[in-house]
């Protein structure tokens, strides 16, 4: 082997880790610097002053209330369906699961438009409610609808996985001992799937509280009524950047708590 070839390989072996490390560093900076820049852009006093503004407090309160309400609805309507898909191999299950997963990948504008067409004053369902004097769009209820639509599939997917991991022999033993299907589900299945279900609830809440596109289309951006934190961030960008940044930091903090909680739960799962 020629000396030049050996030197080239040695040089390549020395340069490769440097290039690899540089790419890793650039990648980390790309994902972290935008968030760090928000922290550096505002002082603690400005943050506190912005958070204490009535319109900012209203956006935070509305976001927490609607996200909690939508998550509760998702759990109530999504848990039976998730259990069904995990336990029963019925005809058309794959098609149903595909439809349920669609909101996860749909552009927010499409999700919002579909809800608007369905629940609008001339919509398939909205026209009926409008005829009896009930308006759905551009209300707080519309915010909850949008959040349920985008958060539901995440919870259902996670809950299905959690139920599928439960050993069915425990359920069979419970029914053999005389417990009903419902009692077995509540006392055996739910506790065994608890960690996965809680993770699904947290993911659903995170998706709901961060929803923007579908919400602004079906509910508008009305302060105190439909203006959640993501919508308020967009609205404040024009004339109150400190409020916009402060709300962004609040959402970042909530996201960090959610991620840490999920990691802790994942570490405790068997």
How much is the mean pLDDT over the chain? 91
Residue pLDDT, tens place only, 136-146: 999 999 999 99
Under the banding of pLDDT at 50, 70 and 90, the label for residue 115 is: very high
* Radius of gyration, alpha carbons of the chain: 24
Under the banding of pLDDT at 50, 70 and 90, the label for residue 58 is: very high
Is the predicted pLDDT of residue 5 greater than 90, yes or no? no
User: How many CB atoms neighbour CB 149 within 10 A?
Assistant: 23
**Percentage, residues of the chain above pLDDT 70:** 95
* pLDDT at res. 3: 53
Under the banding of pLDDT at 50, 70 and 90, the label for residue 86 is: very high
* pLDDT at res. 253: 93
The continuous run of DSSP H or E covering 53 comes out as: none
Is the predicted pLDDT of residue 269 greater than 70, yes or no? no
* pLDDT at res. 17: 85
Superfamily designation of domain 44-268? MetI-like (1.10.3720.10)
Indicate the angle between helix axes 140-164 and 54-87, nearest 10 degrees.
40
Residue for token digits 């409020």? 243
For 100, the token pair is 């349920």
How does DSSP assign 182-221, residue by residue?
HHHIIIIIHHHTHHHHHHHHHHHHHHHHT--HHHHHHT--
Residue pLDDT, tens place only, 6-29: 567 777 777 888 899 999 999 999
* pLDDT at res. 158: 95
Q: What is the Cα 255 distance to its own chain's centre?
A: 10
Residue for token digits 């609205």? 235
Question: pTM here?
Answer: 0.87
Is the predicted pLDDT of residue 227 greater than 60, yes or no? yes
User: Hey, where are the domains in the chain?
Assistant: 1-41, 44-268
Is the predicted pLDDT of residue 262 greater than 90, yes or no? no
């Amino acid at each position: 082997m020629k000396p030049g070839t050996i030197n080239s390989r040695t040089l390549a072996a020395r340069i490769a880790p440097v290039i690899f490390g540089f790419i890793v560093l650039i990648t980390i900076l790309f994902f972290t610097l935008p968030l760090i820049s928000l922290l550096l852009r505002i002082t603690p006093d400005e943050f506190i002053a912005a958070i204490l503004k009535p319109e900012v407090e209203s956006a935070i309160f509305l976001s927490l209330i609607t996200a909690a309400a939508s998550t509760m609805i998702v759990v109530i309507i999504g848990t039976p369906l998730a259990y069904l898909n995990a336990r029963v191999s019925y005809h058309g299950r794959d098609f149903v699961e595909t439809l349920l997963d669609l909101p996860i990948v749909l552009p927010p504008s499409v999700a919002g438009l579909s809800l608007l067409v369905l629940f609008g004053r001339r919509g398939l369902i909205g026209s009926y409610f409008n005829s009896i004097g009930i308006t759905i769009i551009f209300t707080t209820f519309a915010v909850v609808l949008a959040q349920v639509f985008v958060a539901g599939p995440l919870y259902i997917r996670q809950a299905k996985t959690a139920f599928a991991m439960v050993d069915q022999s425990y359920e069979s033993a419970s029914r053999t001992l005389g417990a009903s299907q419902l009692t077995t589900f509540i006392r055996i299945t739910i506790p065994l799937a608890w960690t996965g279900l809680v993770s699904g609830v947290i993911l659903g809440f995170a998706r709901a509280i961060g929803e923007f596109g579908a919400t602004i289309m079906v509910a508008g951006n009305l302060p105190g009524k439909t203006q959640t934190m993501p919508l308020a961030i967009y609205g404040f960008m024009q004339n109150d950047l400190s409020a916009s940044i402060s709300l962004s930091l609040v959402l970042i903090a909530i996201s960090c708590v959610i991620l840490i909680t999920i990691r802790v739960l994942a570490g405790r799962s068997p």
